[in-house]
A and B are shown apart, each in its own frame.
Chain A
Amino acid sequence: MTAVTDREATGAPPRLVGPRRPLEPAFRLTLLVSLVIAVLFLVILLVYVVTEGWPRLDARLWENFPSRLFPERAGAQSAIFGTVYVIALTAVFCIPIGVMTAIYLEEYADRERWYNRIIELNIQNLAAVPSIVYGILGLGIIARGIGLGITLITAALTLSLLVLPVVIIAAREAIRAVPNSIRQGSLALGATQWQTIWRQVLPAAVPGMATGAILALSRAIGEAAPLLLLGAVTHITFSPASLTDSYTVLPIQIFNWIKEPEAEFHTLAAAAIVILLTILLAMNSVAIWLRNRYQKRW
């Protein structure tokens, strides 16, 4: 302080030279390196898989069915259809239940009550349960207990249970992001709680819910572990046509091909991975598009 006033007193121009701050660029560099590591591996993976699978990335892949004897004729149609059906069914099961649970927890549940707090805690824990455990649950209760057997619907129900906690958490966050002033404004006009939720909260929360649900489903699409227990391992040479058909999915088909000794099957596996990644990226793009398209500014 005194130095400054001295200079002012003598009429000398103020000096703006500061000390060197070497930590600033070092910190910036560390962040950048982390980013490069994260992105680099993704790029290497993509490049590797595409170059590996390129020779078989053609119509045979989605027009033909798997073959153990003729790798040049083998395709993954049953697995592609299986994956699409399983995920579509999973969405049908888990989105309504997840959204309704989220509405209850956010709009109706009294957070002071012990049972609501236990429910909340459990949902967060459930999201962290290993997927293989859900496979055992699906096998024990849905396939054998309820008796739906090793079928498409069993797989979809099991995956629904798997992603349900994630869907609930995402939907709750979307509902919570709707400002309270909107609810109050609606209630002050004589709207009932249900009218307020249905006409104000849900429309405002749908983009967030959809984004969360799609991201949850794209986690389910890559799951192999629970489905290993639920019969997706079988060698299937037809696309499923009904809920009670047996089925296979892409991750399992990839796993089966990689197990084979012939190199042609490995190429096939790489090509199938490209298909799986394409479906995944397409779903994530829709999620991002939804988020940007309907982003609300309050």
Chain B
Amino acid sequence: MTEPRQGTAKQDEDAPPVQTFLRYTHRGAPGLADTVFEVADLSVYYGDYEAVRDVTMAIGRRQITAMIGPSGCGKSTVLRCFNRMNDLIPGARVSGKITYHGEDLYAPEVDAIEVRRRIGMVFQKPNPFPKSIYDNIAYGPRVNGVRKGLDDIVEEALRQAALWDEVKDKLKESGLSLSGGQQQRLCIARTIAIKPEVILMDEPCSALDPIATAKIEDLMHGLAQDFTIIIVTHNMQQAARVSDRTAFFTADVDDQGVRHGRLVEYDLTGQIFTTPSDKRTEDYITGRFG
């Protein structure tokens, strides 16, 4: 479990690079053949403040991509661009481009609600709804208009989230009665239930103890068979353990003393943690900074 997931990453290295994609490839994302997202020169603003500047990266299909970096480096901000959760913050806007299977996520005709039905999200603090376990899972399908077969959807989602055995006898109990780790797996199950293609995870384990964290990491390996996962984490060991690729962000201070988040390096996780090409990455992962 402490080994980086080199298996799938190796295959990608062997895969032929796709020409159209190369334009967006950040240095150190070699041969990412099958991409879900392509991000080009993305900047995110809150009002006049440029929180993240010029991010260019691609996210591989059915891979786990980790985003690491010190606080305030904009990694969560970038994550929230992928399902347009930043739309909910007044004054937030983006420049540059994010495409999802070639389609511009921020095109005027794109409906943020449709986006979120395909790109699910798990939050830092487990946030089960104050409803039963069953209703927590069934909520997503229900708001998407599913009326039939909910029992099967709920069971399948809970099984995929490795929670079924623990809760199958108490589906009517409140989701809030579960432990923190179970609540977070409930939230993952809730996201799986709408069958998204991508799951965004915003520091999903930062409120959990090591045992619960280990369970979620195991779960992520399984989920990567079916889903594309992007995880923001403070925990470098976690990034090393779970991810295929790692993006290292940091905050630059400009001439006016304003901090802007930046993508420093994006590469196979093994590369980032053994032979990073940027000094700042090396300093961060060796604990000299951040």
Residues of A within 8 A of B (CB): 110, 112, 179, 181-182, 184-192, 195, 199-200, 203-204, 296-298
- Cβ of B62 within 8 Å of any chain A Cβ, yes or no, is no
Q: Given A189-B116, A190-B114, A190-B143, A184 and B194 touching (CB < 8 A)?
A: no
Scoring B residues 42 to 80 as 1 if CB is less than 8 Å from chain A, else 0, what string do you get?
000000000000000000000000000000000000000
- Verify B113–A190 contact, CB threshold 8 A: yes
Q: Given A199-B139, A199-B143, A297-B176, A188 and B129 touching (CB < 8 A)?
A: no
- Verify B85–A190 contact, CB threshold 8 A: no
Identify which of B116, B144, B194 contacts A187 (C-beta below 8 A).
B116
Q: Residues of A contacting B128 with CB < 8 Å?
A: 185
8 A-B interface contacts by CB (under 8 A): A184-B123, A185-B127, A186-B129, A188-B116, A188-B120, A189-B144, A189-B191, A200-B129
Query: Smallest CB-CB separation from A110: which chain B residue?
Result: B90
CB distance from B208 to the nearest CB of A (A): 16
- Cβ of B107 within 8 Å of any chain A Cβ, yes or no, is no
CB distance from B101 to the nearest CB of A (A): 17
Q: Residues of A contacting B191 with CB < 8 Å?
A: 188-189
**Chain B: interface size category:** 20 to 34
Q: Given A204-B130, A296-B130, A297-B176, A187 and B85 touching (CB < 8 A)?
A: yes
- Verify B125–A189 contact, CB threshold 8 A: no
Per CB-CB distance, the 8 closest pairs between chain A and chain B, nearest first, are: A190-B117, A181-B127, A189-B140, A188-B121, A191-B143, A185-B127, A190-B116, A195-B143
Q: A188-B191, A191-B113, A204-B130 are in contact. List 8 more A-B contacts (CB 8 A).
A: A112-B90, A188-B116, A189-B116, A190-B113, A190-B114, A190-B116, A190-B117, A203-B130
Identify which of A182, A189, A203 contacts B143 (C-beta below 8 A).
A189
Q: Residues of A contacting B83 with CB < 8 Å?
A: 188
- Cβ of B253 within 8 Å of any chain A Cβ, yes or no, is no
Query: Smallest CB-CB separation from B117: which chain A residue?
Result: A190
CB distance from A107 to the nearest CB of B (A): 11
Q: Residues of A contacting B116 with CB < 8 Å?
A: 187-190
Q: Residues of B contacting A297 with CB < 8 Å?
A: 176
Q: Given A184-B85, A184-B88, A185-B123, A192 and B130 touching (CB < 8 A)?
A: no
Q: Given A112-B90, A199-B143, A297-B176, A189 and B127 touching (CB < 8 A)?
A: no
Scoring B residues 99 to 127 as 1 if CB is less than 8 Å from chain A, else 0, what string do you get?
00000000000000110110011010101
- Cβ of B29 within 8 Å of any chain A Cβ, yes or no, is no
Q: Residues of B contacting A112 with CB < 8 Å?
A: 90
Q: Given A110-B90, A184-B85, A298-B130, A190 and B194 touching (CB < 8 A)?
A: yes
- Cβ of B190 within 8 Å of any chain A Cβ, yes or no, is yes
Report Cα–Cα, A192/B127, bound state, in Å: 18
Report Cα–Cα, A297/B125, bound state, in Å: 15
- Verify A189–B130 contact, CB threshold 8 A: no
